[in-house]
Amino acid sequence: MPGSRSDRQRAKRTERVCIVMACRDAGEAAQVGQQLLQVNSGCLMTYRKAEDVLLNSPTARVALIILANIDDPQTIGTALKWMRRRWPRCPVAVVGDAGGRELEIAAREGGASYLARPVSSEEWAAMVTHVLRVPGRVATEDEIG
């Protein structure tokens, strides 16, 4: 006998996989979306600010977080600390301008990769393909209450 409707909805949410992206540039979001179409897996959830991710977290399983809208190293450090507590095993990438040394250091200290603009479609493809095709890379939220 099938479970209740809420059980089925909960199971459906845990099956979905998404990439979360906080960005100001619609072009960067479109590039990531294009790569998702290529691998035909997952969905892209975009936010204008990293704070919006913190306040309105996705219910789907998060495969990758991309922060492409924070220019302040201190703000990126705070956002990464929160994200590491929420999704401890999830890969995070920070996108910033070339030569943004302080931002790159803050990103790497927070456990994130750093990509300098302009990010090529090959770089986006490699990142998206890696996180969606490697078994066990998708973050789970079992330990979150």
120 within a domain of the structure (yes/no): yes
Q: What is the CATH number of the domain that holds 116?
A: 3.40.50.2300
70 or 101: which leads in pLDDT: 101
C-alpha closest to that of 138 among 64, 68, 88: 64
142 within a domain of the structure (yes/no): no
Q: What is the DSSP string of 19-48?
A: EEEEES-HHHHHHHHHHHHHHT--EEEEES
61 within a domain of the structure (yes/no): yes
pTM: 0.81
- Residues 94-100: what's their mean pLDDT? 90
Note the pLDDT tens digit of each residue in 44-74: 999 998 888 888 988 888 999 999 998 889 9
82 within a domain of the structure (yes/no): yes
Per the structure, the complete domain to which residue 37 belongs is given by 5-133
107 within a domain of the structure (yes/no): yes
Q: Is 100 helix (H, G, I), strand (E, B) or coil?
A: coil
141 within a domain of the structure (yes/no): no
**Count of domains observed in the chain:** 1
